[in-house]
């Protein structure tokens, strides 16, 4: 699936998007998998309360299932307007 990062999450991880091969069942499982990869992921995901997640471009929660999902995005709380 495609995993996208925005704002300071993108800066901490060091790339805007990547393809990830995963069998993670939920967003939280995917976060755990990525965090175990490298420090920069662990740092970016260290405080999930400071993060928001969208699955296939819809805001959702970290316990959302990933079956059949094409795109997951992580970003800080939004600041539009």
- Binding site residues, other proteins, CB under 8 A: 4, 6-8, 54, 57-59, 73, 75-81
In this structure, how many other beta carbons lie within 10 angstroms of the beta carbon of residue 27?
22
In terms of CB distance, is 7 or 25 closer to other proteins?
7
Block residue for tokens 């990933």: 66
Rounded to a whole number of angstroms, the minimum distance from the CB of residue 51 to other proteins is 11
Residue 43 contacts residue 10 (beta carbons within 8 Å)? no
Rounded to a whole number of angstroms, the minimum distance from the CB of residue 57 to other proteins is 4
Rounded to a whole number of angstroms, the minimum distance from the CB of residue 36 to other proteins is 26
Sheet holding 71-75: strands in order across? 17-19, 2-5, 71-75, 52-55, 58-60
């Amino acid at each position: 699936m495609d995993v996208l990062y925005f704002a300071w999450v993108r800066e901490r991880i060091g790339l805007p998007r990547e393809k990830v091969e995963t069998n993670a069942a939920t967003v939280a499982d995917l976060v755990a998998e990525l965090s175990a990869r490298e420090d920069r992921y662990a740092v970016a995901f260290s405080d999930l309360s400071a993060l928001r997640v969208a699955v296939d471009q819809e805001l959702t929660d970290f316990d959302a299932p990933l079956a059949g999902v094409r795109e997951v995005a992580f970003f800080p709380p939004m600041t539009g307007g």
